[in-house]
Amino acid sequence: MEQPGYISTIYGADLSEILKNNNVVSHFSRRHRRHDATLRAENIRYIAGNVLTGKQMTQFNATHFYDSQVTAIAEGGERKIIGWLLPGLRKWSFSHTYLSWLYPSQFTNKENNSNFLIYNTSLNGGRRTFMMTDVYDKVFPFSIIPLSLLKACLTQDIEQMEELGIYEVDDEDFALCEVVCPSKMECQQIIRDGLFLLYHNA
Amino acid sequence: MKKYLGPLSKDNPILVQILGVCSALAVTAQLKPAVVMALSVTIVCACANFIISLIRNTIPPRVRIIVQLLIVSALVIVVDQVLQAVVYDVSKMLSVFVGLIITNCIIMGRLEAFAMSHKPLPSLIDGLMNGLGYGLVLVIVAIFRELLGSGTLWNHPVIPQSFYEAGYLNNGLMILPPMALILVGSLIWIKNSKKSSVK
Amino acid sequence: MSKTFSNTYILLYITGLVIIIAVLLSAVSLGLKPQREANRQCEKARQILKAAGYGDVDKSEANALFAEVTRPEKSKTGREMYAIQCADGSQGHVVYVNGKGLWGAIWGYVVLNEDNTTIKGVAFSHKSETPGLGAKITEDDFSSSFIGKKLYDENGNFVSVKVIAKGKGNSIGLENRVDAISGATLTSRGVDEMMYNSLIEIMNNPNNQ
Amino acid sequence: MDFFTNLSDKIGKKLEKGRPFHFLYSTYDAIDSFLLTPKEITTNGSHIRDAVDMKRIMITVMIALFPALLFGMWNVGHQHFLSIGEDATIWQSFGYGFLKWLPLVIVTYGSGLLVEAIFAQVRGHQIAEGFFVTGFLIPMIMPPDVPLWIVSVATIFAVLFGKEVFGGTGYNFLNPALLARAFVFFAYPSVISGDAVWISQSADVISGATPLSLVMNGSTSVLPSNWSLFIGTIPGSFGETSKIAILLGAILLIYTQVASWKIMISVIIGGLLTGTIFHATGACPILGWQHLLLGGFLFGAVFMATDPVTATHTQSGKYIYGFLIGAIAIVIRVLNKGYPEGMMLAILLMNIFAPLIDYCVIQLNIRHRKKRILRKKN
């Protein structure tokens, strides 16, 4: 945003009121010109909460009781020809498969703390089956095997889920797994479903 | 009648009940031994069914498995001896597997499930049909394996010499037992996919 | 099936059944024995005749021809041997050889000339060699390469016939070597060892020279 | 660019569910997502996603294969001209190898993608990228002169029975590329084993034995120097000869985190240790580390054992998995001389055992966690 900052407001304040003095679009399009010159107001996603776990809002949504943060990021979905073959100098990736690791300063903007410029909401790939790369274990801090737990949830094997430690986690713990997953799995949803299943069978 | 035709396809002992796979893998490298094996099993199965059914009311339940085994093994030994006397080449190829008919689950299964509780004639037909169902799979697998593995059928060259001159080679894997497993698996696959599409 | 049977009944029943079956089986076995033996003999005869240069003899004629041209012998070590008249009219000996290949047993018959120095023909069988590789030892291409090979080197020492890959072991004379089957090194080595181990037995036995 | 995007969208609409040509949708989808980055955006869960996807991972593996492939092309030509006794420039050799490789790769992709496409149509799922790497690997592990129809049959067999039977990419437990090679090895042994097959159209007088088969036949005296084994100027398939090119690929794979360094390292340790033990007991004439330079050991360790679908997925399981591959490969090499290329069989064998290793590791984790809970209670 043009002027990121804290605002004290009442619960249920209208998002458009909060954003009134912040020209988000112009800010984004200035910074983004090189990628996406056609960024328009509807191409910005407002999120109640942070980018990992927050809920998507429309521009006129009211802020919720638990929300203390509003995030705005650009919608993705632009299509590039043979994008998976390009060096990808400006694509953020946890792995080093894109050459963007040569240019790390693009991910942190010290000027006004808006780190999310480079990110957008593209899924960046199609849904696939689990490929067992090491990424889950690298972003998952507990002594739990995330992939096995996810699989137990998918197969609705309650006993296995309990043994693998479903009680110790929340869906938010898997947010990072979801971000880095090359198979584009919806890890949080899977865990949520698993917890839901437990809740109903308890 | 429909009841008796079941073993040929719907209730096939190999494809549906997954019985007798061991010998199906071992003897199907060529058509001739497969046919001989199929006939042997059919004969043993039918005769055993018939005999057990005849004496079913005199068999003490506590020793019924022993009695069944006795009858089956006697029949198998007879078959083995006859094979050695009549078709020596084939019996050499079948080697240990004729002896193993004794433990073929199809035969014991039919004895327990059918012959012990049915009259002799239906038992005879049931044994015959199960043997034929088993034989059908054996023959199908054997045709593929012999044709692709050795280029022959019933020991007669089928694939013309000009193919070999053009660079064609026989598939050695077909002769090895794993390929029989894969072929039986494929048959089961085809069968199951048909079944589910009917649903 | 709700009937109950006494122990005595069970015992008698089983005994009776076993006796009946035993009698039946022995009858069948005895009845068919001559035919079984004949088959085995016939198979062996055909193999030996083939090695001796008679070609693929028809089953019906094999035994008669075999009896006509061979006379059983025994080496000192008990190895099965025959004296044989070969297809070309010369006299020779047949030696049974056995050994192990890559996966299982291999065996065969070697036809030697009269003074046991030169091979006139071989016929190998195997139990379970790899088809297309080791199993080639039964094929004519391989067995015909043994014809005319010598068992002694130039100095008169027994060396058997070496089955060895083309271009290797150049010290061995052409008369004492046969090309191994490429890709079937181990089966070839098995044949090599079988020939050596079996033939050395009769070579060291002056009675059969 | 907009033009392409719009065109693609238009075609896509025509093939939507209910339209007469809907059965072509999976083919369309494959082409569409191949040419253009996908238009999907996140809907729930995390709003941002990593830029990496399956296609990117696959292309990274292919880039990692390039050094070995380029060297292999040159080497195939080089060995050919060497055997017929002609001098050839680098480019002549390279061109010869390239022309040997091109039909192989075309046939592999053609037949493999055909099977994939048929199954994707029938089952109505997407055509997965997995085959791109498989189809790239298969020509690299075949002898240069292998008949094309055999490659085609092997590829179809591998895709059908290695993958589609189990539900497609991601569900298979055997490495399809290795399965294709194993198929050729068992089905058509004469084209892939023996001394004659590893040099393209060699003259008869030259024995084209690979160094590996030389060792296995006990003739270590004629072995090429370690240096040429390392550089790769020896007879062999496209991919396996040059150890240095393979190492370049390995560095890329490890740096991009596409393949697991744990597996690579433990395969090598397993091989070294077993090789050294065999050498010490006198069962094998060559030193432990020389095994790494022979045959497809390194190629298998870097590109085959690390296949993310068929390897173990637990972290500690990877050490066990890799170590056993290395050890078994050397055991097969040394003890069963009928099968000099033990690496292929070792990897396929451990592919089968990978789920078991994972199971054990998971059970250990469960036990460990239970103990911790009990400790807390007390």
Residues D266 and D154 placed together within one structural domain of the fold? no
Chain D residue with Cα closest to A101: D256
Give me the pLDDT at residue B106, please: 85
Element of type H or E holding D119: helix D90-123
Q: Which of A117, A144, A172 is the last residue of a domain?
A: A117
Length of chain C: 209
Residues A146 and A102 placed together within one structural domain of the fold? no
Whether the CB of D226 is below 8 Å from some CB of chain A: the reply is: no
Domain presence at residue D243: no
For helices B105-113 and B120-150, the axis angle rounded to 10 degrees is: 160
pLDDT confidence band for D106 (50 / 70 / 90): very high
Compute the C-alpha angle A76/A79/A80, nearest 5°.
Answer: 125
D84 has pLDDT over 50 = yes
H helix intervals, D124-194: 130-140, 148-162, 176-187, 189-192
Domain presence at residue D43: no
C209 has pLDDT over 50 = no
Question: Could B88 and C40 be called an inter-chain contact, meaning their C-beta atoms sit closer than 8 Å?
Answer: yes
Do B36 and B94 form a contact (C-beta atoms < 8 A)?
A: yes
Element of type H or E holding D248: helix D243-255
Question: Could B86 and C35 be called an inter-chain contact, meaning their C-beta atoms sit closer than 8 Å?
Answer: yes
pLDDT confidence band for C126 (50 / 70 / 90): confident
Q: Token match 């290695």: residue? A: D162
Whether the CB of C40 is below 8 Å from some CB of chain B: the reply is: yes
Separation between Cα atoms, residue C196 and residue C162, nearest integer Å: 8
Do C160 and C99 form a contact (C-beta atoms < 8 A)?
A: no
Length of chain D: 378
Residues A87 and A178 placed together within one structural domain of the fold? no
Nearest Cβ partner for B81 among C17, C28, C42 = C28
Domain presence at residue C38: no
Residues D115 and D145 placed together within one structural domain of the fold? yes
Give me the pLDDT at residue C203, please: 75
Average pLDDT on D56-82 reads 90
Query: How are the residues of chain B apportioned to helix, strand and coil, as percentages rounded to the nearest 5?
Result: 75, 0, 20
Give me the pLDDT at residue D204, please: 46
Domain presence at residue D251: no
Separation between Cα atoms, residue A72 and residue A54, nearest integer Å: 11
Give me the pLDDT at residue C184, please: 76
B198 has pLDDT over 50 = no
Residues D179 and D85 placed together within one structural domain of the fold? yes
Identify the chains in contact with C, defined as 3+ C-beta pairs within 8 A.
B, D
Do D324 and D268 form a contact (C-beta atoms < 8 A)?
A: no
Average pLDDT on B117-145 reads 91
Domain count, chain C: 1
Domain presence at residue A141: yes
Give me the pLDDT at residue A35, please: 46
More confident residue, D198 or B161: B161
Nearest Cβ partner for A98 among D51, D170, D365 = D51
Q: Inspect the structure and tell me whether chains C and A have 3 or more CB pairs less than 8 Å apart.
A: no
For helices D148-162 and D130-140, the axis angle rounded to 10 degrees is: 140
Give me the pLDDT at residue D329, please: 92
State the residue range of the domain holding A80. 15-117
Q: Token match 């299982």: residue? A: C104
B92 has pLDDT over 70 = no
D95 has pLDDT over 80 = yes
Separation between Cα atoms, residue C40 and residue D92, nearest integer Å: 62
Domain presence at residue A128: no
pLDDT confidence band for D203 (50 / 70 / 90): very low
Please write the tens of the pLDDT for every residue from D308-319: 888 998 888 999
Nearest Cβ partner for C185 among D190, D196, D217 = D217
The alpha-carbon gap from B165 to the nearest alpha carbon of chain D, in Å, equals 13
State the residue range of the domain holding C90. 71-208
Among residues D289, D297, D286, the alpha carbon closest in space to that of D322 is found at D297
Whether the CB of C102 is below 8 Å from some CB of chain D: the reply is: yes
Chain B residue with Cα closest to D161: B182
Whether the CB of D119 is below 8 Å from some CB of chain B: the reply is: no
State the residue range of the domain holding D140. 57-202+213-235
Residues A19 and A104 placed together within one structural domain of the fold? yes
Domain ranges of chain B: 2-198
Give C-chain residues touching B117 at CB under 8 angstroms. 1
More confident residue, D301 or C183: D301
Among residues B140, B181, B149, the alpha carbon closest in space to that of B35 is found at B140
Nearest Cβ partner for C24 among B61, B74, B172 = B74
Identify the chains in contact with D, defined as 3+ C-beta pairs within 8 A.
A, B, C
Domain count, chain D: 3
DSSP class of A184: -
Whether the CB of B84 is below 8 Å from some CB of chain D: the reply is: no
pLDDT confidence band for B11 (50 / 70 / 90): confident
> 10 Å Cβ neighbour count for C55?
9
Residues D69 and D182 placed together within one structural domain of the fold? yes
Separation between Cα atoms, residue B7 and residue B127, nearest integer Å: 10
Give me the pLDDT at residue D350, please: 95
Residues A111 and A30 placed together within one structural domain of the fold? yes
The mean of the pLDDT values for chain D is 84
Give me the pLDDT at residue B20, please: 79
Q: What percent of chain D has pLDDT over 70?
A: 88
Domain presence at residue A8: no
Separation between Cα atoms, residue A186 and residue A190, nearest integer Å: 6
Residues A28 and A82 placed together within one structural domain of the fold? yes
More confident residue, A14 or C62: C62
Residues D87 and D174 placed together within one structural domain of the fold? yes
Domain count, chain A: 2
Residues D27 and D73 placed together within one structural domain of the fold? no
Residues A63 and A21 placed together within one structural domain of the fold? yes
Residues D27 and D71 placed together within one structural domain of the fold? no
Q: Which residues of chain A have pLDDT under 70?
A: 1-43, 58-67, 77-78, 82-83, 89-90, 103-119, 132-133, 202
More confident residue, D5 or B58: B58
Residues D70 and D167 placed together within one structural domain of the fold? yes
Q: What percent of chain C has pLDDT over 70?
A: 90
A·D CB contacts under 8 A: 203
Write down the number of H helices and E strands in chain D.
15, 0
Q: Which of C71-75, D219-223, D253-257 is predicted with the least confidence, judged by mean pLDDT?
A: D219-223
Give me the pLDDT at residue D319, please: 95
Please write the tens of the pLDDT for every residue from C12-57: 999 999 999 999 999 998 998 888 888 878 888 888 888 888 877 7
Q: Which of B161-165, C135-139, D156-160, D373-377 is predicted with the least confidence, judged by mean pLDDT?
A: C135-139
Nearest Cβ partner for D189 among C165, C168, C183 = C183
C90 has pLDDT over 50 = yes
D88 has pLDDT over 90 = no
pLDDT confidence band for D361 (50 / 70 / 90): very high
Average pLDDT on D78-103 reads 88
Do A119 and A51 form a contact (C-beta atoms < 8 A)?
A: yes
